Amino acid sequence: MPPSRQLMPPNPNFGAATKQFLMAMPISQHFGFDVTDVGPGRFEITQPFRQELSYREGVFQAGPIGTLADMAAACASATMLPEGWIASTADYTVKLLEPAIGERLVIRGRIVRFGRTLSVAAADVFAVNGSDEVLCATALVTVRNLAPALPAGEQVELPVAHGGRRALSSS
């Protein structure tokens, strides 16, 4: 990515804030995954195989694959939010490319386009056996960025795709 397009999160604690947001969800605790990488505009989840998430022995079922892809993509987008903001999925589509046969899934989310109210992110899902990774699904996710209520007259700046910032006020 050229220097003028590098992502600069407005929240210096974006990694911890995004992990906390995700891990506070009961479904995250149920899945039992690990967050294995976080950076500006990217988020990675590693999900060990669990019988409860399977189609049959050793094969992840499509529902959990879609949920994990949604989470990784939405969290990639959430890394760019100011403190106190949250991300909520507005829409997503998943394309299943190969059977998800493996000891774990690695889901790599990335931001495609960050906007003030809506952002677009994507995620690739890899089935992993030992050191072999197979791309088994890909997702495109539309994310709604939700601001906390601001006191009258206060404003916050959001990053924009070209590297600048855009002000958002309470009025």
The band of 161, judged by pLDDT with boundaries at 50, 70 and 90, is: low
Q: Is the pLDDT of residue 24 over 50?
A: yes
Phi, psi at 85, each rounded to 5°: -80, 160
| pLDDT at residue 11, as a whole number | 94
What whole-number distance in Å separates Cα of residue 42 and Cα of residue 111?
6
| pLDDT at residue 3, as a whole number | 43
The band of 109, judged by pLDDT with boundaries at 50, 70 and 90, is: very high
- State the CB neighbour count (10 A cutoff) for residue 19: 17
Q: Which CATH superfamily is domain 3-169 in?
A: Hotdog Thioesterase (3.10.129.10)
| pLDDT at residue 6, as a whole number | 79
| pLDDT at residue 171, as a whole number | 44
Contact yes or no for 60/104 (Cβ under 8 A): no
β partners of residue 133? 128
CA 121 to chain centre: 7
**C-alpha triplet 87, 88, 89: angle, nearest 5°:** 125
For residue range 52-75, what is the model confidence (pLDDT) as tens digits? 999 899 999 999 999 999 999 999
Domain ranges of the chain: 3-169
Q: Is the pLDDT of residue 51 over 70?
A: yes
The band of 136, judged by pLDDT with boundaries at 50, 70 and 90, is: very high
- State the CB neighbour count (10 A cutoff) for residue 108: 20
Predicted TM-score (pTM) of the model is 0.86
| pLDDT at residue 169, as a whole number | 52
DSSP state of 11: S
